[in-house]
Amino acid sequence: MKAKTILLGAAIAASLAACATTTSPTGRTQYVGAVSQAELNQLGAQAFAQMKAQKPQTSNAGQRDYVACVTRAIISQLPANARSGWETAVFADNDPNAFALPGGKVGVYTGIFTVARNQDQLAGVIAHEIGHVLSRHHDERITRQMGAQALVGVAGAAAGNYGQLVSQGGSLVAQAGFLLPGSRAQETEADVVGQQLMANAGFDPRAAVNLWQNMIAAGGGRPPEWLSTHPNPQARIGELQKRAADLVPTMEAARRAGNNPRCG
């Protein structure tokens, strides 16, 4: 039993040695690298394929083109090595929901159109979700989950349950890293990165404020469940308003440079 624990501890140490600290786009220290970027992309592609197999997509070509247009405008502002291979899907679902995954996958639920009422507000949603990918939040969550699972694994080995934990751990960690909501720090960071992206693309950053106000109104004073980990709504609106005022000149410069989206 003791030997098993020692061996498992050595394996965990070797795995975590591959991890590293990095700095997020807003200057926050992150712990990432438990899985490679190629593995993250594969997990994103698998999750997206599963979603498309399980949920019906809209038959409305106008909605599909609209989402694709807004997404293209935003990804044009990503680093050059992150612009290719993006794919969008619009799911026929009344929830006001959206997501983006590593590997260039963006999913939007038709319910989002009830709160994102113009292209700038839709850009606020999509840019926020792409902000999660750009900020490596999936990588960060998986790395954190794997660290926690490793500690459980040591305890399990001591109790003789190592084999079962190993067989279950990988899928559970991957699922947690992709499906659990982000932390408040991550959600705030995605707001910051997303609002910058939308302004760089020529979308009006003030629309992010209107979007959040619409979401609160649609929820009867409460945000949708998928945004439950965001900071206090009124505090968030205040931060969005402050950044929007600073980003209006960025939007104006982007439009003068030819970034003037006309998606609908």
**pLDDT tens track for 208-254:** 999 988 988 887 555 554 455 555 677 888 999 999 999 999 999 99
Segments of the chain scoring below 50 in pLDDT: 1-17, 150-179, 225-226
DSSP 3-state assignment of 203?
A: coil
User: Which amino acid is located at 89 in the chain?
Assistant: A
pLDDT score for 222: 53
Nearest Cα neighbor of 131 from 31, 34, 201 is: 201
pLDDT at residue number 10: 39
Side-chain-side CA neighbours of 184 within 13 Å: the count stands at 8
pTM, 2 dp: 0.80
Alpha helices for the chain (secondary structure H)? 2-17, 37-54, 61-75, 119-134, 137-158, 162-179, 184-200, 207-218, 233-256
Instruction: Give me the active site residues, please.
Output: 129
